[in-house]
């Protein structure tokens, strides 16, 4: 009951329209047809009056849209006695306004949720003690303690010898990054497994994570308005309808002729075709794991001419995988991998999962490690079967007295080194692999008319160029912070542009693009909430499929509109010559509506979406 009361207060016209329809049905069942007519007509005219006031206001501002046609539709259907048609139009209009209000309210809640996730406190070091202070109270030069797994609260300088950080929320890079004493740390990065001390180099307001929040807020509030599909045809169709009706009245000298024309001039092809097609297209997209948040987004999606991609987790898998094992004298690759994976089984390090996964893929039998000693950010020592195994960075092995003879690491790769019984056994190389579908996605986008593709990433230039070359992207912007990505999209000349990403660092650029698409299966909540389109499955090919569905949907919507308009104009001309009585005209108009509705429903998949050649 409380939910109904809340809905009634939030959307009174939708609520009272529904109540009116229910009461009218009750009257009809009890034989009170006159009461039905008065109830439906009276309520419809009240809504028409409300729309009329708004219509006059928008006309004074120089804007013309579907409201003109809506008012005409309601009044004309009431005048010719099509009371149920009038209330259906009212329900559509008020329901549409309610959905728009709901979307706006949801956007505000999502932004507030992003704000709440930002760090609120910091651990300030005062002498030998540590005290909690509000983030806003942190000043440049303050020494802060960042606990394991905590977010670095402000941009700061590392005071400890070395530490490892997850910067994926800022740069999109999935591999952990090691920072040494004196290096700059960005707020929003996550500390590794040991407490560290840092010196604040910027206030919270000027730090990186806060800039992300401000960019999302600014981009969300400055999004350009988008004209609804039906608005482009509403005024011309209304003018043509009144012109034909006026000429018919003048030629016949009878106002009934005017009403007969208006009966078949109802705007249902405009009021029904586009919304039904768009909703059907959104439903079809959802079946394929693509959530399009509004019909307006679907329209914009169909017009996209440029696509920008984040790299990590979007064009690539977002998790490092073993690319090769390089054994040294006396060892083979499977033995090295099995021993390393066995030692790393209990570690939470990102590369540990990759080692274990590769071992399982090769069907290697892992042993339970004992005497495990892990040095956070450096490596691990453990006993595996009868061997003493060291796995980690080169410095970690060197400190244990192991002599390393390793090859140079290529761009985009990282390595762990393995020693067995204090003898160098070899190295295991990792790479964040390109998704197998990424190259085909770029090809498909070109077939769909996408003129420009580019990659925006926080990775090194060499790594970014390697990935871009592999998938077929010609323009690369590497070593980007969130603000750099925003500026790149804002300055792109080919528009409209769609941005595809998955991290917190992508949230601002997703908001500023005409269409923001988030890979939401493993991506951040912030990215999904800011985006216009969310892909629920871990498949980048959905970006091309979303555009294809949008184009197919708009094609059907326009086709439905033009079919409806053409039939209606034809009927108006026949009615203008007196060959269609009002009652017959109302029946024929319903036939037109049925044709338009069924054609628009094709966007749902009655016929298959054409595949790319």
For the ranges 176-185, 313-322, 575-584, the one whose mean pLDDT is highest: 176-185
Domain match, 16 and 107 both:
yes
Domain match, 235 and 294 both:
yes
Q: Phi and psi at residue 573, in whole multiples of 5°?
A: -65, -40
Tokens of residue 412, six digits: 């985009």
Q: Decide: 560 and 599 in contact? Cβ < 8 Å.
A: yes
Domain match, 95 and 18 both:
yes
Q: Would you call 437 exposed, middle or buried from its count of C-beta atoms within 10 A (0-12, 13-18, 19+)?
A: middle
Q: Is residue 575 part of a domain?
A: yes
Return all residues near 486 (Cβ < 8 A) that are at least 6 apart. Answer: 215, 219, 508, 509, 512
Is the pLDDT score of 536 beyond 90?
A: no
Q: Would you call 188 exposed, middle or buried from its count of C-beta atoms within 10 A (0-12, 13-18, 19+)?
A: buried
**What is the Cα–Cα distance from 30 to 172, expressed in whole angstroms?**
66
Q: Is residue 209 part of a domain?
A: no
Domain match, 396 and 503 both:
no
Q: How does DSSP assign 118-169, residue by residue?
A: S--EEEEEETTEEEEEEGGG--TT-EEEE-TTPBP-S-EEE-SSEEEEE-HH
Which of 431, 462, 486 terminates a domain? The answer is 431
Q: Is residue 212 part of a domain?
A: no
Q: Decide: 148 and 190 in contact? Cβ < 8 Å.
A: no
Q: Is residue 211 part of a domain?
A: no
Domain match, 386 and 460 both:
no
**What is the Cα–Cα distance from 455 to 148, expressed in whole angstroms?**
33
Give me the torsion for CA of 527, 530, 533, 535, rounded to 10°: 20
CATH code for position 198: 2.70.150.10
Question: pLDDT (tens digit, 9 = 90+) per residue, 114-150?
Answer: 455 567 789 999 988 899 999 889 999 999 999 988 8
Q: Is residue 213 part of a domain?
A: no
Domain match, 336 and 351 both:
yes
Residue ranges of alpha helices (H) inside 222-330 are 231-252, 255-263, 268-287, 295-302
Q: Is residue 501 part of a domain?
A: yes
Domain match, 494 and 610 both:
yes
**What is the Cα–Cα distance from 143 to 101, expressed in whole angstroms?**
46
Per DSSP bridges, beta strands 306-310 and 452-456 are parallel
Domain match, 563 and 584 both:
yes
Domain match, 282 and 358 both:
no
CATH code for position 403: 3.40.1110.10
Is the pLDDT score of 297 beyond 90?
A: no
Which of 117, 139, 156 terminates a domain? The answer is 117
CATH code for position 311: 3.40.50.1000
**What is the Cα–Cα distance from 455 to 308, expressed in whole angstroms?**
6
User: How much is the pLDDT for 454?
Assistant: 93
Which of 62, 90, 117 terminates a domain? The answer is 117
The single residue listed with the structure tokens 């761009």 is 411
Question: pLDDT (tens digit, 9 = 90+) per residue, 86-98?
Answer: 777 677 667 655 6
Q: Is residue 226 part of a domain?
A: yes
Active-site choice (155, 310, 432, 444)? 310
User: Domain range holding 337?
Assistant: 321-431
Q: What pairs with residue 132 in β-bridges?
A: 123
> Residues 308-313: what's their mean pLDDT?
84
- Model's pTM, two decimal places? 0.60
Tokens of residue 124, six digits: 């300030």
Total domains in the fold of the chain: 4
**What is the Cα–Cα distance from 245 to 231, expressed in whole angstroms?**
22
Does 593 participate in catalysis according to the annotation? no
Domain match, 282 and 350 both:
no
User: How much is the pLDDT for 551?
Assistant: 92
Domain match, 612 and 487 both:
yes
Is the pLDDT score of 459 beyond 60?
A: yes
Between 531 and 35, the higher pLDDT residue? 35
Q: Is residue 210 part of a domain?
A: no
User: How much is the pLDDT for 200?
Assistant: 93
Query: How many CB atoms are located within 10 Å of the residue 374 CB?
Result: 20
Tokens of residue 386, six digits: 């009868």
Domain match, 484 and 515 both:
yes
User: How much is the pLDDT for 77?
Assistant: 66
Is the pLDDT score of 308 beyond 90?
A: yes
Of 25-34, 162-171, 383-392, which range is least confident? Answer: 162-171
């Amino acid at each position: 009951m409380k939910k109904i009361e809340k809905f009634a207060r939030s959307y009174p016209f939708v609520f009272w329209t529904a109540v009116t329809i229910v009461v009218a049905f009750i009257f009809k069942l009890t034989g009170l047809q006159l009461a039905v007519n008065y109830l439906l007509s009276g309520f419809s005219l009240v809504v028409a009056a409300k729309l009329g006031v708004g219509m006059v206001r928008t006309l004074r501002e120089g804007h013309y849209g579907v409201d003109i046609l809506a008012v005409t539709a309601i009044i004309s259907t009431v005048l010719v006695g099509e009371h149920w048609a009038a209330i259906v139009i009212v329900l559509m209009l008020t329901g549409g306004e309610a959905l728009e209000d709901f979307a706006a309210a949801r956007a505000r809640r999502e932004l507030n949720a992003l704000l709440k996730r930002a760090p609120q406190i910091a651990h300030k070091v005062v002498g030998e003690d540590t005290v909690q202070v509000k983030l806003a109270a942190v000043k440049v030069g303050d020494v802060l303690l960042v606990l394991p797994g905590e977010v670095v609260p402000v941009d700061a300088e590392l005071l400890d010898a070395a530490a490892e950080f997850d910067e994926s929320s800022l740069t999109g890079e999935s591999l952990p990054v090691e920072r040494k004493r004196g290096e700059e740390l960005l707020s929003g990065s996550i500390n590794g497994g040991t407490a560290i001390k840092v010196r604040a180099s910027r206030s919270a307001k000027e730090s990186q994570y806060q800039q992300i929040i401000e960019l999302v807020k600014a981009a969300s509030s400055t999004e350009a308005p988008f004209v609804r599909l039906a608005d482009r045809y509403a005024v011309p169709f209304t003018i043509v309808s009144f012109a034909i009706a006026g000429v018919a009245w003048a030629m016949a000298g009878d106002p009934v002729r005017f009403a007969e024309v208006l009966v078949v001039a109802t705007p249902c092809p405009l009021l029904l075709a586009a919304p039904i097609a768009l909703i059907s297209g959104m439903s079809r997209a959802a079946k394929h794991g693509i959530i399009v948040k509004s019909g307006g987004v679907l329209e914009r999606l169909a017009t996209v001419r440029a696509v920008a991609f984040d790299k990590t987790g979007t064009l690539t898998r977002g998790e490092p995988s073993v690319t090769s094992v390089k054994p040294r004298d006396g060892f083979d690759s499977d033995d090295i991998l099995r021993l390393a994976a066995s030692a790393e089984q209990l570690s939470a390090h990102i590369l540990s999962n990759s080692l274990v996964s590769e071992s399982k893929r090769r069907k290697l039998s892992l042993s339970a490690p004992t005497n495990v000693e892990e040095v956070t950010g450096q490596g691990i020592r453990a006993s595996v079967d009868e061997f003493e195994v060291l796995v980690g960075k080169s410095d970690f092995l060197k400190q244990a007295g192991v002599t390393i003879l390793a090859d140079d690491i290529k761009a985009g790769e990282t390595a762990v080194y393995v020693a067995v019984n204090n003898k160098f056994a070899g190295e295991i190389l990792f790479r964040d692999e390109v998704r197998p579908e990424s190259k085909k996605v770029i090809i498909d986008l070109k077939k769909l008319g996408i003129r420009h593709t580019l990659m925006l990433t926080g990775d090194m230039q060499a790594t970014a160029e390697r990935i871009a070359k592999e998938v077929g992207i010609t323009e690369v912007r590497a070593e980007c912070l969130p603000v750099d990505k925003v500026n790149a999209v804002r300055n792109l000349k080919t528009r409209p542009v769609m941005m595809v990403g998955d991290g917190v660092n992508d949230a601002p650029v997703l908001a500023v693009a005409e269409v923001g698409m988030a890979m939401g299966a493993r991506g951040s909540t912030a990215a999904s909430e800011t985006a216009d389109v969310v892909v629920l499955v871990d498949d980048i090919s959905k970006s091309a499929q979303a555009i294809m569905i949008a184009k197919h949907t708009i094609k059907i919507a326009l086709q439905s509109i033009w079919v409806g308009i053409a039939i209606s104009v034809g009927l108006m001309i026949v009615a203008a010559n007196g060959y269609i009585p009002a009652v017959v005209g109302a029946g024929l108009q319903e036939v037109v509506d049925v044709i338009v509705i069924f054609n628009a429903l094709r966007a749902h998949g009655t016929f298959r979406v054409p595949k790319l050649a």
